[in-house]
Chain A
């Protein structure tokens, strides 16, 4: 199943790049577009229930429903958390304004697809757990939403 359109476009772009430096530049530029969670959504100290388990970058995730659509926000407390910020940007670009079910299209492979095989196991787990946290919160929202 393809990813939500904006994510799929980034995946396709990265797949087309053979050069490691170019891939890294794309990911770094995504990280530079990272926006911290809005104060309307959460203020520090954040609820531990929003923390991504096993993430060295101390990432937090919020998935909110607005009507039938979802919006995701992130905090990355470790200033060195460049990879987490890049992934957060990718997820936000791909999921904001999408139906909540779009989170079902995310899978653990997304991390490997974006970051490649050079990812250490620690980074891999933290980033994969970010994806899982988004999916988990979206599923919870979906269950809570009124059924027709």
Chain B
């Protein structure tokens, strides 16, 4: 699947995934801004797609005091610094099968920047294909991106939404490991426990680990047909369902949110970024094992 910059559909479900080849062909395209977003903050400096800028999830997207995202003013400043206008097609890619690329993509959607794509296969596929890297940090001609109020109602869910979701029997997708889901552990395998005091899952949630959506060899997303087998035949979801995804802090679940909303064209999918670090610590919230 590929996108064309001139296409009015860029940012829609049909055009939101671009190939490494497409990116290679648009490195010089002034209407495209390529953004690398990684878990490992050192990777970008060791080499990145030529012309790519870096967006760091902690530094650039998170509020530095409150557990929340940046506001419209700060998003405007970020986009302006990166030389982005509302018409710029922003292509995200990164390490970890595009975890943080999807997270950054999701945050951009909260601010209504719909002209956005994810590079299928991420950083690793770009490297595997022997495509060029550079350590040169590009300089953008700053723009004046309009200040937009962050819209948390469409793509984001809060604790109160989940409680309501439970009473209305909405669908919840827990994308963590089966061990986390079962409450056998409070963190990913080989990851430290970061302080959840209860293990388990939100009542009624189905467990579909995020990595099921990715080909482990190429790092690319599976085909829509293969994804439907996983999410519809095996997990029982339906395209018309009202779905909330969650994980530990919302990064893995933004990956699944991306899959459901854009690759499977589900209409009502939200990401609960409070996720288990909020739910597993909050007093009195129901937990299932």
Contact = CB atoms under 8 A, between A and B. Distances in A.
Given A124-B192, A125-B192, A119 B45 contact: no
Contacts, number: 55
A119 B41 contact: yes
Nearest to B56: A118
Interface string A110-132: 00000101111111111010000
A25 interface: yes
B39 interface: yes
A105 B268 CA distance: 54
A82 B46 contact: yes
- Tell me the dominant secondary structure on chain B's binding face: loop
Interface string B181-195: 000000110111010
Given A20-B59, A118-B56, A80 B190 contact: no
Contacts of B95: 80
- Tell me the dominant secondary structure on chain A's binding face: helix
Nearest to B44: A24
B287 interface: no
B154 interface: no
Contacts of B123: 80
Contacts of A123: 39-40
Contact of B46 (A28, A53, A120): A28
Given A118-B56, A118-B58, A118-B59, A83 B190 contact: no
A122 B46 contact: no
A119 B190 CA distance: 16
Interface string A46-62: 00000001101000000
Contacts of A79: 127
Interface in A87-136: 115, 117-126, 128
Contacts of A80: 40, 43, 95, 123-124, 127
B42 interface: yes
Contacts of A121: 187, 191-192, 194
A27 interface: yes
Q: Which are the 7 A-B pairs with shortest beta-carbon distances?
A: A54-B190, A82-B42, A125-B192, A118-B58, A28-B45, A120-B39, A24-B45
Interface of B: 39-43, 45-46, 56, 58-59, 95, 123-124, 127, 187-188, 190-192, 194
